[in-house]
Amino acid sequence: MRDLYARLGVGEEVYEYGEEVEERLVQRFAAIDRLAEYNQLKVLAAFQKNKVSEACLLGTTGYGYNDLGRDTLEKVYADVFHTQDCLIRPQITCGTHALALALMSNLRPGDELLSPVGKPYDTLEEVIGIRPSKGSLAEYGITYRQVDLTADGGFDYGKIKEAIGPKTRLVTIQRSKGYQTRPTLSIDQIGELIAFLKGCKPDLICMVDNSYGEFTEEREPSDVGADMVVGSLIKNPGGGIAPIGGYIAGTRECVENASYRLTAPGLGKEVGASLHALPQLYQGFFLAPTVTASALKGAIFAANLYENLGFPVIPDAGQERHDIIQAVTLGTPEAVIAFCQGIQAASPVDSHVVPQPWDMPGYESEVIMAAGAFVSGSSIELSADAPIRPPYAVFFQGGITWPHARFGNLKALQALVDAGVVSAREIEKAKEKLRKTSK
């Protein structure tokens, strides 16, 4: 094994450091395996309840009327998320599209959108109109207000209550951190926030951006009061197999509104051919609990690798996990770029490509992305990305198998060693620290 890692470019000191870190994670990894088993059986029960059959995998063309596989898959998702209905289509191009669809279909001119968890992810800024863009909510007369989290990452309940007014119609809650170095929200925290919001104004629509959070706990945001739960199929629920798509699970009215926005008034969910995507959508969702477990192990491994080397990490090495993203503040653009290039070099596809920062559509800063994936842009597969701006944090996620997530972490660390960001002496000190802590 040691020789194989060496042939793949991971040096002796990095390999041994990884071995020592992993030895101390046995109990945490066992708990993740139990979580995966629970969620796997939950998904299996939904497949069996809805009588998923070979006919469900065939797909349709044209208008897509009476698409058995599409309609059954939406029932499976609704059962897993414990919602009244679900919209899941390959016509939803990405997570940002799914979120925009949910917002634009359930808000009307004169309504106000509130974010009680601070600024949303970069690509939503143009959807909302924080940064002016064609077709934004702002252009349709929908206003926006936000309340930042407190310094310790908590909810500012006093300011949230003040921000809720007669025009406040929908609240968007981003579960994961996006490109911020803040804690991810747990299901318990989301439930407490929704209960408070509904207590202030019972008819509020509470939408949760669930990206990167699916199957990281036994419950989902819809189990604690969310009216809509929204995400991408090339993240956790696609299991690394879904080639495209997004989902909106929620109340019947919210989902129906989204379906009319996706297609056309009067058509809604009745149209939208599934083409040839259904086998991957079904199989990906079936595999999602165990794939997410592999990504969780990779994130925890990364937190322990870098925290012991002295880098700030969120979540920290011992914290409970609520998504698959690991943020590591490296401090310089050069370190961020080296890390991402290490991840790319560990990929099964395009490992020979060297990623560079560029002006990606929808982002305010230059962004570097490493994702040598079977599905383009799939961030449930081994990937890392970062905006090139202070504090120069990189965001690592994915790994559809634990061995690949492990190798990717070590390859990225080796890239930092090769770039002179981390020294052999610093790795040795980290190993000494681990040994003392174990005693």
Residue-wise pLDDT for 251-270, tens only, equals 999 999 999 999 999 999 99
Q: What number is the average pLDDT over the span 425-438? A: 91
178 pLDDT above the threshold of 90: no
Count up the domains in the chain and report the number: 2
Would you say residue 52 lies in a domain?
A: no
Containing 401, the helix (H) or strand (E) segment is: none
Q: Which residues of 412-437 are buried (b: 16+ CB within 10 A; e: fewer)?
A: bbbbbbebebbeeebbeebbeebeee
Say if residue 124 is in the same domain as residue 248: yes
Lowest mean pLDDT among 85-99, 218-232, 359-373, 420-434: 359-373
Of 210, 144, 199, nearest in space to 171 by CA = 144
Would you say residue 379 lies in a domain?
A: yes
Say if residue 78 is in the same domain as residue 9: no
Using 50, 70 and 90 to split pLDDT, how confident is the model at 362? confident
Q: What number is the average pLDDT over the span 68-81? A: 98
Say if residue 265 is in the same domain as residue 292: no
Query: Which of 253, 276, 299 is the last residue in one of the domains?
Result: 276
pLDDT at 190: 98
Say if residue 115 is in the same domain as residue 14: no
422 pLDDT above the threshold of 90: yes
Would you say residue 256 lies in a domain?
A: yes
Report the percentage of the chain scoring pLDDT > 90. Answer: 94
Query: Which of 222, 241, 276 is the last residue in one of the domains?
Result: 276
Would you say residue 412 lies in a domain?
A: yes
Query: Which of 256, 276, 296 is the last residue in one of the domains?
Result: 276
What residue numbers bound the domain in which 92 lies?
Answer: 58-276
Say if residue 198 is in the same domain as residue 295: no
Report the percentage of the chain scoring pLDDT > 70. Answer: 100
Say if residue 310 is in the same domain as residue 428: yes
Euclidean distance between CA atoms 22 and 19, whole angstroms: 5
| CATH (domain of 88) | 3.40.640.10
Rounded to two decimals, the pTM is 0.95
Q: What number is the average pLDDT over the span 339-348? A: 98
Would you say residue 45 lies in a domain?
A: no
pLDDT at 360: 82
C-beta separation of 113 from 119 below 8 A: no
Say if residue 242 is in the same domain as residue 306: no
438 pLDDT above the threshold of 80: no
Say if residue 63 is in the same domain as residue 23: no
Give the pair of three-digit tokens for residue 115.
């974010």
Quick check: helix, strand or coil at residue 1? coil
C-beta separation of 237 from 379 below 8 A: no
Say if residue 192 is in the same domain as residue 238: yes
| CATH (domain of 412) | 3.90.1150.60
Model confidence pLDDT, tens digit, residues 30-46 = 999 999 999 999 999 99
406 pLDDT above the threshold of 80: yes
Would you say residue 119 lies in a domain?
A: yes
Euclidean distance between CA atoms 227 and 8, whole angstroms: 47
Model confidence pLDDT, tens digit, residues 101-121 = 999 999 999 999 999 999 998
pLDDT at 437: 81
Q: How far is CA 410 from the centre of its chain?
A: 22
Say if residue 217 is in the same domain as residue 327: no
Model confidence pLDDT, tens digit, residues 381-396 = 999 999 999 999 999 9
Using 50, 70 and 90 to split pLDDT, how confident is the model at 157? very high
pLDDT at 212: 97
Say if residue 103 is in the same domain as residue 134: yes
Euclidean distance between CA atoms 145 and 148, whole angstroms: 10
Model confidence pLDDT, tens digit, residues 270-300 = 999 999 999 999 999 999 999 999 999 999 9
C-beta separation of 342 from 354 below 8 A: no
Q: Where are the beta strands (DSSP E) in 132-250?
A: 143-146, 168-174, 205-209, 228-232, 246-250
Of 152, 121, 169, 125, nearest in space to 387 by CA = 121
C-beta separation of 375 from 281 below 8 A: no
Lowest mean pLDDT among 15-24, 43-52, 354-363, 365-374: 354-363
439 pLDDT above the threshold of 70: no
CA atoms within 13 A on the CB side of 59: 14
Using 50, 70 and 90 to split pLDDT, how confident is the model at 82? very high
Say if residue 74 is in the same domain as residue 180: yes
Using 50, 70 and 90 to split pLDDT, how confident is the model at 404? very high
424 pLDDT above the threshold of 90: yes
Would you say residue 281 lies in a domain?
A: no
Q: What number is the average pLDDT over the span 149-162? A: 95
Would you say residue 50 lies in a domain?
A: no
Q: What number is the average pLDDT over the span 231-240? A: 98
Lowest mean pLDDT among 49-53, 152-156, 177-181, 306-310: 177-181
